[in-house]
Amino acid sequence: MSIISKFIETDVLVIGGAGAAVMSAVRASREGLSVTLVSKGKLGKSGNTIMIGGGFGVDGEGAREVLGLTDANPAYTREKALEKLVYSGFFLGDQRLQKLFVDLGPKATGECLEWAKEAGQPFHYYPASVSWRSSGAVFGRAVARGVKKGHSIAVHEDIFIAELLKKDDRVAGALGIDIYSGDLVQFNARVVILASGGFQPFSLQNSNSDMTGDGIAMGIRAGARVRDMEFLLYIPTILEPWYARGSILPFLLTFSPVLKNTKRTDLDGRELVFPPDEKYKVGPTTTKVNKALMAEFYGRGIYEQFALHGNAFYYDYSAYTAEEIRKGLREFGDSYREFHREGYYNGTDLARLAEDIIKNSKRLKVSFGNEYSMGGIVVEPDFSVPGVPGLFAAGEVTGGTFGAFRSGDGLTEMLVHGYVAGESAAAYAKRTERMLPGDAEQKAAFILSPFTRPRGMSPIEARTRLEKICDEGFDFFRDEERLAGAYRKIIALHQSLQELSVPLADRRYNLEWLNSLIVRNLALLAEIGIYGALNRRESRGTHLRADFPGVNNKEYLFSFVASVPGGLVTGIPQPGSIVYEKRRPEAYHLPLVTENYLSVADFLAEKVLHGA
Q: Could you read off the pLDDT of 261-275 as tens digits, one per residue?
A: 899 999 999 999 999
142: CB partners within 8 A, 6+ apart: 44, 112, 115, 116, 119, 121, 123, 134
Name residue 177's beta-bridge partners: 160, 184
pLDDT at 242 over 70: yes
What does the pLDDT read at residue 53?
Answer: 61
H or E element in which residue 448 lies: helix 440-448
Q: Contact 263/319 with Cβ under 8 angstroms?
A: yes
The per-residue pLDDT for range 27-70, each reduced to its tens digit, is: 999 999 999 999 998 887 776 666 566 678 999 999 999 999 99
**pLDDT value, residue 54:** 63
Burial status of residue 98 (CB atoms within 10 A of its CB: 0-12, 13-18, 19 or more): buried
pLDDT at residue number 18? 87
Instruction: Please state whether 126 falls in left (phi above 0), alpha (psi between -120 and 50) or beta.
Output: beta
Q: What is the mean pLDDT of residues 197-218?
A: 87
When pLDDT is averaged across residues 466-490 and rounded to a whole number, the result is 97
Mean pLDDT of 439-467: 95
Mean pLDDT over the full length of the chain: 93
Outline where 119-196 has alpha helix (H): 136-149
Q: Report the pLDDT averaged over residues 112-141.
A: 87
Average pLDDT over residues 366-386: 96
Nearest to 311 by CA among 230, 370, 362, 229: 370
Q: What backbone torsions phi and psi does residue 572 show, to the nearest 5 degrees?
A: -115, 135
Instruction: Supply the DSSP symbol for 607.
Output: I
Is residue 384 over pLDDT 70?
Answer: yes
Average pLDDT over residues 326-333: 94
Instruction: Summarize pLDDT for 268-299 with one digit per residue, the tens.
Output: 999 999 999 999 999 888 989 999 999 999 99
pLDDT at 301 over 80: yes
Cα(130)–Cα(118) distance, integer angstroms: 21
- Of the candidates 259, 438, 256, the one whose C-alpha atom is nearest the C-alpha of residue 363 is 259
Task: Classify 316 as helix, strand or coil.
Answer: strand
For the chain, report the end-to-end CA distance as a whole number of angstroms. Answer: 65
Task: Yes or no: say if 354 and 326 are a contact pair by the CB < 8 Å rule.
Answer: yes
Q: What integer is the mean pLDDT of 176-194?
A: 98
Cis before 549 (ω within 30): no
- Provide the 8-state DSSP code for 608: I
The identity of residue 451, as a single letter, is F
What is the distance between the alpha carbons of residues 251 and 572, in angstroms, rounded to a whole number? 38
Q: Which residues contact 23 (CB under 8 A, 6 or more apart)?
A: 108, 111, 112, 143, 146, 394, 414, 415, 417, 418, 419, 422
Task: Tell whether the model's pLDDT for residue 611 goes beyond 60.
Answer: no
- pLDDT for 316: 97
Tell me how far the alpha carbon of residue 439 is from its chain's centroid.
30
Strand partners, 369: 235
pLDDT at 454: 84
Q: Please tell me which residue, 173 or 566, carries the higher pLDDT value.
A: 173
Neighbours of 64 (CB within 10 A): 17
CB-based contact 123:9 (threshold 8 Å): no
Do strands 226-227 and 184-194 pair parallel, antiparallel, or not at all (unpaired)? unpaired
**Confidence band, pLDDT 50/70/90 cuts, at residue 142:** confident
The pLDDT of 298-308, averaged and rounded, is 95
Question: In the Cβ-directed half-sphere of 224, how many Cα atoms lie within 13 Å?
Answer: 32
* Least confident among 6-20, 28-42, 139-153, 379-393: 139-153
Tell whether the model's pLDDT for residue 475 goes beyond 80. yes
Q: What is the pLDDT of residue 601?
A: 97
Letter string b/e over residues 227-259, b meaning 16 or more CB atoms within 10 A of that residue's CB: bbbbbbbbbbbbbebeebbbbbbbbbbbeeebb
Whether residue 151 has pLDDT greater than 90: no
Least confident range of 149-158, 286-295, 350-359, 600-609: 149-158
Q: Which of 532, 547, 549 is nearest to 92 (CA)?
A: 532
Rounded to an integer, the average pLDDT of 172-180 is 98
**Cβ proximity of 348 and 247 under 8 Å:** yes
Per-residue pLDDT tens over the stretch 397-420: 999 999 999 999 999 999 999 999
What type of residue sits at position 20? A
In this structure, of 105-109, 133-137, 213-217, 403-407, the range with the lowest mean pLDDT score is 133-137
Identify the pLDDT of residue 335: 86
**Per residue in 141-169, is it b (16+ CB within 10 Å) or e — as a string?**
bbbbbbbeebebbebbbbbbbbbbbbbee
Strand partners, 13: 36, 192
**What pLDDT was estimated at residue 52?**
62
Q: Please report, rounded to a whole number, the percentage of residues in the chain having pLDDT higher than 90.
A: 82
The confidence band for 340, taking pLDDT boundaries of 50, 70 and 90, is confident
Rounded (10°) CA dihedral 65, 69, 70, 76: -70
Q: Is 417 helix (H, G, I), strand (E, B) or coil?
A: helix
528 — pLDDT class (breaks 50, 70, 90): very high
